[in-house]
Amino acid sequence: MSAKPLEQCAQAEKTAFVFPGQGSQKAGMLAELATQFSLVKETFTEASDALGLDLWHIAQSGEGLNQTENTQPVLLTASTAIWRVWLSLGGLRPKYLAGHSLGEYSALVAAQSLSLTDAVKLVHLRGKLMQSAVPQGQGAMAAILGLSDEQVLELCQIATQAGSGQVEAANYNTKGQVVIAGAATAVQLAIDHAKAQGAKAIALPVSVPSHCSLMKPAAEAFADALEQTAIELPKVPVIHNVSADVAKDVVALRLALKEQLYRSVQWTSTIQSLQDQGVRYIAECGPGVVLSNMAKRLPQLEKTFALDTPSRIDDALNTILVAEGQIV
């Protein structure tokens, strides 16, 4: 069964799809889905051929899966495979798409702004550039739980002014949950200050300090690749990380992807924007439940879904078709 062309899909009015970023990967992802839908392995073959890597083997064995240059194309391919399965089953075209960090590229592939082959090449390079921008061990990230955005910004400022390097807010994930990134010593100092205020602070097991100023050299190099890649305006509106808004032209879209490397992910604002635009159902198109769990906190959302197993896709498909008036 092949994916139905996007323009032939019925349009949803209450549903958005979101695509996860790094951290959602796990060995064996999509194995159950692949036993029922040949589209899964076909999608991985298409992406693998573009890179000369066996992405399905990496995804199933876990060998090299947590190396950033591998993680990014594997996750993008996994999300694209799920999206294609959704369309093949008669799923609706969402009102909006959005992706967290790397997930923005998955959203752009779903919106036919980028081809899968171009996108996996881009994110493979993106991972390499991010990894090489900061020497191993010199950068770090941490999740701060229980403080307001303003309090997190203040502790970042205090830690930076102490002279041990710069630390910044990297991901505004949801109210009371902000990820910080920067120089390892400064991140540790910010962790200490957060705990002193009674907050929970968790150092993240990452090799790259994403979405902070340390990534500016990577962004400059990446901009050349973006200029050489064919990009079209999305056929479904895609909300960008850096602005929580929709790009109006391809020039703005390319700039948003470049700046995404060193600017904060505005995920709290992104999800709030979806809610403000009448979205009541959010489906997470990728392995895991990170984004769907975060979205559950929003009061106006009626339900969130994960789509990484056949039973979860079936539940989402039936519920959304009824909610959108496609099944009476």
Catalytic residues: 101, 211
Strand 167-174 relative to strand 139-145, pairing? unpaired
Give the integer Cα–Cα distance in Å for 166 and 3. Answer: 46
Helix (H, G, I), strand (E, B) or coil at 321: helix
**Measured between alpha carbons, how far is residue 236 from residues 110, 154, 313 in Å?**
8, 37, 20
* Nearest by Cα to 225 from 136, 114, 133: 114
Q: List the structure tokens of 323.
A: 């909610």
Give the integer Cα–Cα distance in Å for 219 and 225. Answer: 10
Q: List the structure tokens of 320.
A: 């959304």
Q: Which residues pair with 305 in a beta bridge?
A: 283
**Contact predicate 140/165, CB 8 Å:** no
- The angle at the Cα of 260, spanning 102 to 274, to the nearest 5 degrees, equals 75
* CB-count exposure of residue 269 (10 Å: 0-12, 13-18, 19+): middle
DSSP per-residue letters across 265-295: B-HHHHHHHHHHTT--EEEE-SSSSHHHHHH
Beta-carbon-side half-sphere exposure of residue 20 (alpha carbons within 13 Å): 28
